[in-house]
Structure 1
Amino acid sequence: MSIWVTVAQVAAGVNVVLLLALTYVWGRNYAKFRSKHTLGLLVFALLLLAENVGVVYYYVLDPQLSAWWGSAVPDIVWQWQMAIHVVEAVALAFLTWTAWD
């Protein structure tokens, strides 16, 4: 398994944790304020969370797909996957930092 695979897996896992934090904050805000804006943020976080949980499942837990991702996918694909997940993690970290305040 190459370093690209590991970085992509870790970044996707970090995304799940950050999205759980955002879901908590925006869910709490929606319960308090009942505004469409906070509902939109909550739905956005839930959908992105579902996507990232699926990615982590395919990368790590699914016996067939995780083996395929780890051995048969070219490095260029992993490099792009890793870049997407890392950029997403940085964006979510910044968003979590601003929302947690």
Structure 2
Amino acid sequence: MDLMLNVARIAAGVNILLLLVLVAVWGQNYRKIRSKHTFGSAVFALFLLAENGLALFYYLNPPPMSVPAVRAMMYLQVLEVAGIAFLVYVTVD
């Protein structure tokens, strides 16, 4: 279970870093072009940032959790890394 928590912690940390990049780029784009789409994207990234911050807090201070719950959350965090990494790729490229 420690390995799964460590993977989830790392994934949440990577998500936070990637989301900070997206918020910076989308925020800058919104200031330039004032598009609702870029504003919505930046707000969405901020909500995901808050979610990942809270997840990381719980991964660093874990309450008693069952192994299946930890495994499921780890898989979700890893999938989220893939999705956010793709967003960074298409946004920054």
Same fold (TM over 0.5): yes
Give structure 2 stretches of 5+ with no counterpart.
Answer: none
Q: Aligned partners of 2:80 and 2:62: how far apart in 1? A: 24
1:48 alignment partner in structure 2: 48
2:78 alignment partner in structure 1: 86
1:74 alignment partner in structure 2: 66
Q: Is residue 2:35 matched to residue 1:35?
A: yes
Shift of 1:58: 2.0
1:21 alignment partner in structure 2: 21
Aligned residues: 93
* Amino acid in structure 2 at the alignment position of 1:91: G
- Report the identity percentage: 45
Q: Aligned partners of 1:90 and 1:30: how far apart in 2? A: 25
For residues 67 and 80 of structure 1, do their structure 2 counterparts lie closer, same or farther at Cα, with a shift above 3 Å needed?
Answer: closer
Query: Which runs of 4 or more aligned residues in structure 1 lie more than 3 Å from their structure 2 counterparts after TM superposition?
Result: none
The alignment's TM-score, normalised by the length of structure 2, stands at: 0.94
After superposition, the CA RMSD in angstroms is: 1.1
Larger radius of gyration between Structure 1 and Structure 2: 1
